[in-house]
Structure 1
Amino acid sequence: MKSLKTILLGATLTAGLAIFFGASNASADTLYTIKSGDTLSTISQQFKGDNSLINSIAQKNNVSDINMIYVGEQLTIPTDGQAVATTTTTTSQATTTAPAAAAQTTTQTAASTYTGTSSSAKEWIAQRESSGSYTATNGRYIGRYQLDSSYLNGDYSAANQERVADNYVAQRYGSWEAAQSFWMANGWY
Protein backbone atom coordinates (compact mmCIF):
# COMPACT_ATOMS: atom_id res chain seq x y z
CA MET A 1 0.00 0.00 0.00
CA LYS A 2 2.86 2.35 0.84
CA SER A 3 4.47 1.82 -2.55
CA LEU A 4 1.17 2.59 -4.32
CA LYS A 5 0.90 5.89 -2.41
CA THR A 6 4.51 6.69 -3.25
CA ILE A 7 3.93 6.00 -6.95
CA LEU A 8 0.74 8.11 -7.02
CA LEU A 9 2.40 10.96 -5.12
CA GLY A 10 5.43 10.85 -7.43
CA ALA A 11 3.26 10.78 -10.55
CA THR A 12 1.15 13.68 -9.27
CA LEU A 13 4.21 15.79 -8.43
CA THR A 14 5.80 15.02 -11.79
CA ALA A 15 2.64 15.98 -13.67
CA GLY A 16 2.26 19.15 -11.63
CA LEU A 17 5.87 20.19 -12.26
CA ALA A 18 5.55 19.41 -15.95
CA ILE A 19 2.47 21.60 -16.18
CA PHE A 20 4.11 24.35 -14.13
CA PHE A 21 7.36 24.47 -16.07
CA GLY A 22 5.75 23.70 -19.43
CA ALA A 23 3.27 26.57 -19.09
CA SER A 24 6.02 29.12 -18.54
CA ASN A 25 7.55 28.26 -21.90
CA ALA A 26 4.28 28.02 -23.83
CA SER A 27 3.66 30.43 -26.65
CA ALA A 28 0.09 31.46 -27.42
CA ASP A 29 0.68 32.56 -30.98
CA THR A 30 -2.55 33.69 -32.60
CA LEU A 31 -3.69 33.05 -36.15
CA TYR A 32 -5.00 36.24 -37.81
CA THR A 33 -6.60 36.60 -41.25
CA ILE A 34 -5.82 39.91 -42.97
CA LYS A 35 -8.86 42.07 -43.76
CA SER A 36 -9.21 44.98 -46.14
CA GLY A 37 -7.50 48.05 -44.70
CA ASP A 38 -5.13 46.08 -42.44
CA THR A 39 -1.47 46.94 -42.19
CA LEU A 40 1.17 45.39 -39.97
CA SER A 41 0.90 48.57 -37.91
CA THR A 42 -2.86 48.25 -37.36
CA ILE A 43 -2.49 44.55 -36.57
CA SER A 44 0.24 45.33 -34.04
CA GLN A 45 -2.01 48.02 -32.55
CA GLN A 46 -4.84 45.50 -32.19
CA PHE A 47 -2.72 42.93 -30.38
CA LYS A 48 -0.22 45.03 -28.42
CA GLY A 49 -1.60 48.58 -28.40
CA ASP A 50 1.52 49.92 -30.13
CA ASN A 51 3.76 49.20 -33.13
CA SER A 52 6.20 46.93 -31.28
CA LEU A 53 5.02 43.73 -33.02
CA ILE A 54 5.57 44.87 -36.63
CA ASN A 55 9.04 43.34 -37.05
CA SER A 56 8.14 40.23 -35.03
CA ILE A 57 5.08 39.60 -37.22
CA ALA A 58 7.13 40.15 -40.39
CA GLN A 59 9.90 37.84 -39.20
CA LYS A 60 7.54 35.11 -37.94
CA ASN A 61 5.66 35.06 -41.28
CA ASN A 62 8.62 35.62 -43.65
CA VAL A 63 7.17 38.95 -44.85
CA SER A 64 9.95 40.54 -46.92
CA ASP A 65 8.24 43.94 -47.39
CA ILE A 66 6.32 45.16 -44.33
CA ASN A 67 4.24 47.41 -46.59
CA MET A 68 2.93 44.51 -48.69
CA ILE A 69 0.39 42.19 -47.09
CA TYR A 70 -2.65 40.74 -48.79
CA VAL A 71 -6.32 40.38 -47.86
CA GLY A 72 -7.15 36.80 -46.92
CA GLU A 73 -3.56 35.90 -46.05
CA GLN A 74 -3.16 34.35 -42.61
CA LEU A 75 -0.49 35.61 -40.25
CA THR A 76 0.80 34.05 -37.07
CA ILE A 77 0.94 36.79 -34.44
CA PRO A 78 3.69 36.14 -31.85
CA THR A 79 1.97 37.02 -28.58
CA ASP A 80 4.35 35.18 -26.21
CA GLY A 81 1.54 34.05 -23.95
CA GLN A 82 0.09 37.56 -23.83
CA ALA A 83 -2.80 37.17 -26.27
CA VAL A 84 -5.34 39.92 -25.78
CA ALA A 85 -8.94 38.82 -25.59
CA THR A 86 -12.06 40.93 -25.54
CA THR A 87 -15.32 40.50 -23.78
CA THR A 88 -18.52 41.81 -25.29
CA THR A 89 -21.50 43.06 -23.35
CA THR A 90 -24.68 43.69 -25.30
CA THR A 91 -27.16 46.31 -24.13
CA SER A 92 -30.53 47.11 -25.65
CA GLN A 93 -29.11 49.87 -27.88
CA ALA A 94 -25.41 49.21 -28.50
CA THR A 95 -22.58 46.77 -28.05
CA THR A 96 -19.58 47.83 -26.03
CA THR A 97 -16.27 46.05 -25.81
CA ALA A 98 -13.76 46.18 -22.98
CA PRO A 99 -10.35 44.54 -22.73
CA ALA A 100 -10.38 41.31 -20.75
CA ALA A 101 -7.55 39.70 -18.84
CA ALA A 102 -4.80 38.21 -20.98
CA ALA A 103 -5.78 34.75 -22.15
CA GLN A 104 -4.20 32.05 -24.25
CA THR A 105 -6.06 31.24 -27.45
CA THR A 106 -5.52 28.83 -30.29
CA THR A 107 -8.02 30.45 -32.64
CA GLN A 108 -8.23 33.88 -34.16
CA THR A 109 -8.52 36.67 -31.58
CA ALA A 110 -10.25 39.98 -32.30
CA ALA A 111 -8.70 42.62 -30.10
CA SER A 112 -9.18 46.31 -29.58
CA THR A 113 -8.33 49.07 -27.21
CA TYR A 114 -11.76 50.54 -26.59
CA THR A 115 -12.07 53.26 -23.99
CA GLY A 116 -15.72 54.20 -24.38
CA THR A 117 -15.79 57.89 -25.32
CA SER A 118 -16.93 59.41 -28.60
CA SER A 119 -13.60 61.10 -29.20
CA SER A 120 -11.62 57.90 -28.59
CA ALA A 121 -13.95 55.85 -30.81
CA LYS A 122 -13.70 58.52 -33.51
CA GLU A 123 -9.89 58.56 -33.28
CA TRP A 124 -9.81 54.74 -33.26
CA ILE A 125 -11.70 54.67 -36.57
CA ALA A 126 -9.55 57.43 -38.09
CA GLN A 127 -6.37 55.53 -37.24
CA ARG A 128 -7.64 52.35 -38.85
CA GLU A 129 -9.05 54.05 -41.92
CA SER A 130 -6.18 56.41 -42.82
CA SER A 131 -3.62 56.45 -39.99
CA GLY A 132 -5.21 59.81 -39.12
CA SER A 133 -4.30 61.53 -42.40
CA TYR A 134 -6.67 64.09 -43.93
CA THR A 135 -4.94 63.62 -47.30
CA ALA A 136 -5.18 59.81 -47.54
CA THR A 137 -6.94 58.47 -50.63
CA ASN A 138 -8.07 55.02 -51.67
CA GLY A 139 -9.84 55.18 -55.00
CA ARG A 140 -12.96 57.26 -54.44
CA TYR A 141 -12.52 57.25 -50.63
CA ILE A 142 -10.92 60.41 -49.31
CA GLY A 143 -9.37 61.68 -46.10
CA ARG A 144 -9.12 60.84 -42.44
CA TYR A 145 -12.37 58.84 -42.31
CA GLN A 146 -12.16 57.45 -45.87
CA LEU A 147 -15.47 59.01 -46.88
CA ASP A 148 -16.88 58.54 -50.37
CA SER A 149 -15.85 61.59 -52.42
CA SER A 150 -19.52 62.25 -53.28
CA TYR A 151 -20.23 62.92 -49.57
CA LEU A 152 -17.58 65.66 -49.47
CA ASN A 153 -18.88 67.53 -52.55
CA GLY A 154 -15.39 68.55 -53.67
CA ASP A 155 -14.50 70.19 -50.33
CA TYR A 156 -11.71 68.03 -48.88
CA SER A 157 -10.80 70.40 -46.06
CA ALA A 158 -10.26 69.00 -42.57
CA ALA A 159 -13.25 70.94 -41.22
CA ASN A 160 -15.58 69.55 -43.90
CA GLN A 161 -14.26 66.00 -43.38
CA GLU A 162 -14.98 66.27 -39.65
CA ARG A 163 -18.47 67.71 -40.21
CA VAL A 164 -19.42 65.14 -42.88
CA ALA A 165 -18.02 62.24 -40.83
CA ASP A 166 -19.99 63.33 -37.75
CA ASN A 167 -23.21 63.60 -39.81
CA TYR A 168 -22.60 60.25 -41.53
CA VAL A 169 -21.97 58.42 -38.25
CA ALA A 170 -24.92 60.10 -36.50
CA GLN A 171 -27.32 59.13 -39.30
CA ARG A 172 -26.03 55.61 -39.91
CA TYR A 173 -24.98 54.42 -36.42
CA GLY A 174 -26.19 56.99 -33.91
CA SER A 175 -22.78 57.32 -32.23
CA TRP A 176 -19.08 56.85 -32.83
CA GLU A 177 -19.11 54.00 -30.29
CA ALA A 178 -21.70 52.12 -32.36
CA ALA A 179 -19.69 52.81 -35.53
CA GLN A 180 -16.59 51.43 -33.81
CA SER A 181 -18.45 48.29 -32.75
CA PHE A 182 -19.62 47.80 -36.33
CA TRP A 183 -16.06 48.37 -37.62
CA MET A 184 -14.68 45.78 -35.19
CA ALA A 185 -17.23 43.22 -36.36
CA ASN A 186 -16.91 43.92 -40.10
CA GLY A 187 -13.57 45.65 -40.76
CA TRP A 188 -15.27 48.79 -42.13
CA TYR A 189 -17.92 51.29 -41.09
Structure 2
Amino acid sequence: MKKLVSTIVTTSAAAAGLFFAGVVNANADSTYTVKSGDSVWAIAQKFNTTINNVETTNNIKGHYILPGQKLTIKTSASNTNSSSSNSTSASTTSSSSTSSTSTSSSSNTTATTSSTSSSTSSSTSTYTGSNLKSYVLSQMESRTGVSASTWNTIITRESNWQPYVVNSTSGAYGLFQNMHISSGSVEEQVDAAVALYEAQGMAAWAL
Protein backbone atom coordinates (compact mmCIF):
# COMPACT_ATOMS: atom_id res chain seq x y z
CA MET A 1 0.00 0.00 0.00
CA LYS A 2 2.82 2.42 0.95
CA LYS A 3 4.54 1.65 -2.35
CA LEU A 4 1.34 2.43 -4.29
CA VAL A 5 0.86 5.78 -2.46
CA SER A 6 4.52 6.68 -3.07
CA THR A 7 4.15 5.94 -6.78
CA ILE A 8 1.00 8.11 -7.05
CA VAL A 9 2.66 11.04 -5.22
CA THR A 10 5.80 10.81 -7.40
CA THR A 11 3.72 10.69 -10.61
CA SER A 12 1.58 13.67 -9.52
CA ALA A 13 4.68 15.72 -8.64
CA ALA A 14 6.24 14.98 -12.03
CA ALA A 15 3.03 15.96 -13.84
CA ALA A 16 2.81 19.20 -11.83
CA GLY A 17 6.42 19.98 -12.66
CA LEU A 18 5.76 19.53 -16.38
CA PHE A 19 2.64 21.70 -16.14
CA PHE A 20 4.42 24.61 -14.46
CA ALA A 21 7.36 24.30 -16.86
CA GLY A 22 4.90 24.57 -19.73
CA VAL A 23 3.33 27.69 -18.18
CA VAL A 24 6.74 29.33 -17.76
CA ASN A 25 7.72 28.56 -21.36
CA ALA A 26 4.35 29.75 -22.70
CA ASN A 27 4.67 33.08 -20.93
CA ALA A 28 8.38 33.65 -21.71
CA ASP A 29 8.94 36.94 -23.52
CA SER A 30 11.59 37.87 -26.08
CA THR A 31 13.39 41.20 -26.34
CA TYR A 32 14.21 42.67 -29.76
CA THR A 33 16.30 45.77 -30.52
CA VAL A 34 14.98 47.80 -33.47
CA LYS A 35 17.41 48.13 -36.38
CA SER A 36 17.56 50.77 -39.11
CA GLY A 37 14.95 50.02 -41.77
CA ASP A 38 12.80 47.88 -39.43
CA SER A 39 9.02 48.25 -39.35
CA VAL A 40 6.42 46.95 -36.91
CA TRP A 41 5.08 44.71 -39.68
CA ALA A 42 8.51 43.16 -40.35
CA ILE A 43 9.16 42.56 -36.63
CA ALA A 44 5.74 40.96 -36.19
CA GLN A 45 6.46 38.66 -39.13
CA LYS A 46 9.90 37.78 -37.68
CA PHE A 47 8.34 36.58 -34.42
CA ASN A 48 5.23 35.07 -36.03
CA THR A 49 2.89 37.42 -34.19
CA THR A 50 0.63 40.38 -35.01
CA ILE A 51 1.28 44.11 -35.40
CA ASN A 52 -1.39 44.77 -32.75
CA ASN A 53 0.33 42.44 -30.28
CA VAL A 54 3.71 44.17 -30.72
CA GLU A 55 2.23 47.67 -30.50
CA THR A 56 -0.02 46.92 -27.49
CA THR A 57 2.79 45.25 -25.52
CA ASN A 58 5.20 48.14 -26.14
CA ASN A 59 2.69 51.04 -26.13
CA ILE A 60 3.59 52.02 -29.72
CA LYS A 61 1.52 54.79 -31.28
CA GLY A 62 1.11 55.37 -35.01
CA HIS A 63 3.38 52.40 -35.88
CA TYR A 64 6.36 54.64 -35.02
CA ILE A 65 9.59 52.94 -33.85
CA LEU A 66 13.21 54.09 -33.71
CA PRO A 67 16.56 52.30 -34.26
CA GLY A 68 17.95 51.12 -30.92
CA GLN A 69 14.51 50.91 -29.30
CA LYS A 70 14.04 47.68 -27.30
CA LEU A 71 10.75 45.87 -27.81
CA THR A 72 9.20 43.12 -25.70
CA ILE A 73 7.68 40.36 -27.82
CA LYS A 74 5.03 38.16 -26.21
CA THR A 75 5.93 34.68 -27.43
CA SER A 76 2.77 33.20 -25.95
CA ALA A 77 0.79 35.10 -28.60
CA SER A 78 3.28 33.85 -31.20
CA ASN A 79 2.58 30.28 -30.18
CA THR A 80 -1.15 30.90 -30.48
CA ASN A 81 -0.72 32.41 -33.92
CA SER A 82 1.56 29.56 -34.94
CA SER A 83 -1.02 26.99 -33.84
CA SER A 84 -3.73 28.87 -35.71
CA SER A 85 -1.52 29.05 -38.79
CA ASN A 86 -0.76 25.33 -38.62
CA SER A 87 -4.46 24.57 -38.21
CA THR A 88 -5.36 26.74 -41.20
CA SER A 89 -2.57 25.17 -43.27
CA ALA A 90 -3.74 21.66 -42.38
CA SER A 91 -7.33 22.58 -43.26
CA THR A 92 -6.25 24.08 -46.59
CA THR A 93 -4.13 21.03 -47.41
CA SER A 94 -7.01 18.69 -46.58
CA SER A 95 -9.42 20.71 -48.70
CA SER A 96 -6.97 20.78 -51.61
CA SER A 97 -6.44 17.03 -51.36
CA THR A 98 -10.20 16.35 -51.41
CA SER A 99 -10.69 18.62 -54.40
CA SER A 100 -7.81 17.07 -56.36
CA THR A 101 -9.22 13.55 -55.98
CA SER A 102 -12.73 14.40 -57.23
CA THR A 103 -11.97 13.96 -60.95
CA SER A 104 -8.90 13.57 -63.15
CA SER A 105 -9.72 16.78 -65.01
CA SER A 106 -10.12 18.75 -61.77
CA SER A 107 -6.79 17.40 -60.49
CA ASN A 108 -4.94 18.56 -63.60
CA THR A 109 -6.52 22.01 -63.41
CA THR A 110 -5.61 22.36 -59.73
CA ALA A 111 -2.00 21.32 -60.42
CA THR A 112 -1.69 23.86 -63.24
CA THR A 113 -3.16 26.65 -61.12
CA SER A 114 -0.89 25.76 -58.19
CA SER A 115 2.18 25.81 -60.44
CA THR A 116 1.24 29.20 -61.89
CA SER A 117 0.56 30.63 -58.44
CA SER A 118 3.88 29.32 -57.13
CA SER A 119 5.75 30.84 -60.09
CA THR A 120 4.04 34.22 -59.61
CA SER A 121 4.76 34.23 -55.88
CA SER A 122 8.42 33.42 -56.52
CA SER A 123 8.79 36.22 -59.06
CA THR A 124 7.41 38.86 -56.67
CA SER A 125 8.83 37.73 -53.34
CA THR A 126 12.48 38.23 -54.31
CA TYR A 127 14.03 41.14 -56.19
CA THR A 128 16.13 39.83 -59.09
CA GLY A 129 16.99 43.08 -60.83
CA SER A 130 14.67 42.40 -63.76
CA ASN A 131 11.35 42.33 -61.87
CA LEU A 132 11.47 45.82 -60.33
CA LYS A 133 7.84 46.80 -60.85
CA SER A 134 6.24 43.45 -60.03
CA TYR A 135 8.40 43.03 -56.91
CA VAL A 136 7.90 46.54 -55.52
CA LEU A 137 4.16 46.75 -56.25
CA SER A 138 3.48 43.27 -54.86
CA GLN A 139 5.43 44.00 -51.67
CA MET A 140 3.80 47.39 -51.09
CA GLU A 141 0.27 46.13 -51.73
CA SER A 142 0.60 43.06 -49.48
CA ARG A 143 2.36 44.92 -46.66
CA THR A 144 0.25 48.10 -46.57
CA GLY A 145 -3.13 47.04 -47.96
CA VAL A 146 -2.97 49.94 -50.46
CA SER A 147 -3.59 48.91 -54.08
CA ALA A 148 -0.71 48.31 -56.46
CA SER A 149 -2.17 50.88 -58.89
CA THR A 150 -1.97 53.58 -56.21
CA TRP A 151 1.67 52.78 -55.46
CA ASN A 152 2.42 52.72 -59.20
CA THR A 153 0.98 56.24 -59.50
CA ILE A 154 3.05 57.47 -56.53
CA ILE A 155 6.34 55.95 -57.73
CA THR A 156 5.82 57.14 -61.32
CA ARG A 157 5.17 60.66 -60.04
CA GLU A 158 8.00 60.70 -57.49
CA SER A 159 10.87 59.03 -59.38
CA ASN A 160 9.54 57.71 -62.69
CA TRP A 161 10.71 54.27 -61.47
CA GLN A 162 14.36 55.29 -61.14
CA PRO A 163 15.46 53.35 -58.01
CA TYR A 164 18.61 55.34 -57.17
CA VAL A 165 17.68 58.90 -58.15
CA VAL A 166 18.42 61.70 -55.67
CA ASN A 167 16.58 65.02 -55.58
CA SER A 168 19.34 67.64 -55.70
CA THR A 169 17.18 70.18 -53.87
CA SER A 170 15.56 68.21 -51.06
CA GLY A 171 17.89 65.21 -50.85
CA ALA A 172 14.94 62.82 -51.19
CA TYR A 173 16.10 59.41 -52.35
CA GLY A 174 14.96 56.47 -54.43
CA LEU A 175 11.73 55.16 -55.88
CA PHE A 176 9.51 56.76 -53.23
CA GLN A 177 11.63 59.95 -52.87
CA ASN A 178 11.91 59.21 -49.17
CA MET A 179 13.32 62.09 -47.10
CA HIS A 180 14.29 59.70 -44.28
CA ILE A 181 16.93 57.73 -46.20
CA SER A 182 19.82 58.81 -48.40
CA SER A 183 20.85 55.44 -49.85
CA GLY A 184 19.80 51.81 -49.96
CA SER A 185 18.88 48.88 -52.19
CA VAL A 186 15.44 48.39 -53.68
CA GLU A 187 14.55 46.02 -50.82
CA GLU A 188 15.68 48.59 -48.24
CA GLN A 189 13.69 51.31 -50.00
CA VAL A 190 10.56 49.14 -49.81
CA ASP A 191 11.13 48.51 -46.08
CA ALA A 192 11.63 52.25 -45.48
CA ALA A 193 8.50 53.12 -47.47
CA VAL A 194 6.44 50.62 -45.46
CA ALA A 195 7.77 52.10 -42.21
CA LEU A 196 6.97 55.61 -43.43
CA TYR A 197 3.45 54.53 -44.40
CA GLU A 198 2.91 52.94 -40.98
CA ALA A 199 4.06 56.15 -39.29
CA GLN A 200 2.30 58.75 -41.47
CA GLY A 201 -0.08 56.95 -43.83
CA MET A 202 -0.62 58.23 -47.36
CA ALA A 203 -0.07 61.78 -46.08
CA ALA A 204 3.66 61.09 -46.46
CA TRP A 205 3.08 61.36 -50.22
CA ALA A 206 0.47 64.12 -49.94
CA LEU A 207 -2.48 61.75 -50.54
Normalization by structure 2: what TM-score? 0.39
Structure 1 or 2: more strand by fraction: 1
Normalization by structure 1: what TM-score? 0.42
Larger radius of gyration: 2
Structure 1 or 2: more helix by fraction: 2
